[in-house]
Amino acid sequence: MVGIIMGSTSDLPVMEQAATFLQSMEIPFELTIISAHRTPERMFRYAKIAKERGIKVIIAGAGGAAHLPGMVASCTTLPVVGVPILSSNSIDGWDSILSILQMPSGIPVATVALNGATNAGILAAKIIGANDENISKKLEAYQQSLTDKVLNGVEEVNTRYPNTFEK
């Protein structure tokens, strides 16, 4: 249902975060390496047949010049979520961020934070959950767990330090 692609194995530690989130939501995914620069024919084929293979959203991670998300988006009508990755040849990650973020009009790529593959997984789940009640309910529970975590932190801090807010 979700395709997770990346330019090289060095991107795997970041992109596995998206896979981990999707697993927690029980959303099927595939994960593979596709380089826009080193395997362009593979990239074009993947993008062009993804929809007919049942993919609903593509998460594409790339570092450096980070052309993979935009090039894939130019070849499909599926939503593409780009993950800029801080790579060894990157300029503090800004080259990757701007390469994915600054797409020309007509070829949008949803872009998450540098190394933000977890958010890419969440965004993919939200896109699918817009038309899938089961996934939507799982996302509601996930968001409630985030709220609960913060409120538990409030209680912990309030027991250690006096607080007059909401008393």
Per-residue tens of pLDDT for the chain, all 167 residues: 999 999 999 999 999 999 999 999 999 999 999 999 999 999 999 999 999 999 999 999 999 889 999 999 999 999 999 999 998 888 889 999 999 999 999 999 999 999 999 999 999 999 999 999 999 999 999 999 999 999 999 989 998 998 878 76
One domain, residues 79 and 161: no
**Do 119 and 140 belong together in one domain?**
no
Residues 75 and 92 in one domain: yes
Helix (H, G, I), strand (E, B), or coil: what is residue 134? helix
Considering the domain architecture, whether residues 148 and 108 belong to the same structural domain is answered as: no
User: In terms of Cα–Cα distance, which of 64, 53, 122 is closest to 93?
Assistant: 64
pLDDT at position 91, please? 82
Sheet holding 29-33, edge to edge: 29-33, 2-6, 57-63, 80-85, 110-111
Instruction: Please state the residue numbers annotated as binding site for substrate.
Output: 8, 11, 38
What pLDDT is recorded for position 167? 60
Query: Residue 78 in contact with residue 56, Cβ under 8 Å?
Result: yes
- Residue pair 78/26 in contact (Cβ under 8 Å)? The answer is no
Task: Give the type of residue at 5.
Answer: I
Structure tokens at 54: 């049942």
Angstrom distance (rounded) from CA 114 to CA 141: 26
Joined tokens for residue 95? 């080259």
* Residue list for the binding site: 8, 11, 38
Domain that includes residue 35, residue range: 2-131
Closest CA to 118 of 13, 6, 3, 18: 18
CA distance 38 to 28: 27
Give the model's pLDDT for residue 164.
78
Give the total number of structural domains in the chain: 2
Question: 140 and 78, same structural domain?
Answer: no
Parallel, antiparallel, or unpaired: how do β-strands 29-33 and 57-63 relate? Answer: unpaired
| Cα 120 from Cα 83, distance rounded (Å) | 7
pLDDT (0 to 100) of residue 114: 97
Q: How many helices (H) and strands (E) does the chain have?
A: 6, 5
**Looking at the structure, do residues 140 and 66 belong to the same domain, yes or no?**
no
Residues 125 and 138 in one domain: no
For residue 27, give the CATH number of its domain.
3.40.50.1970
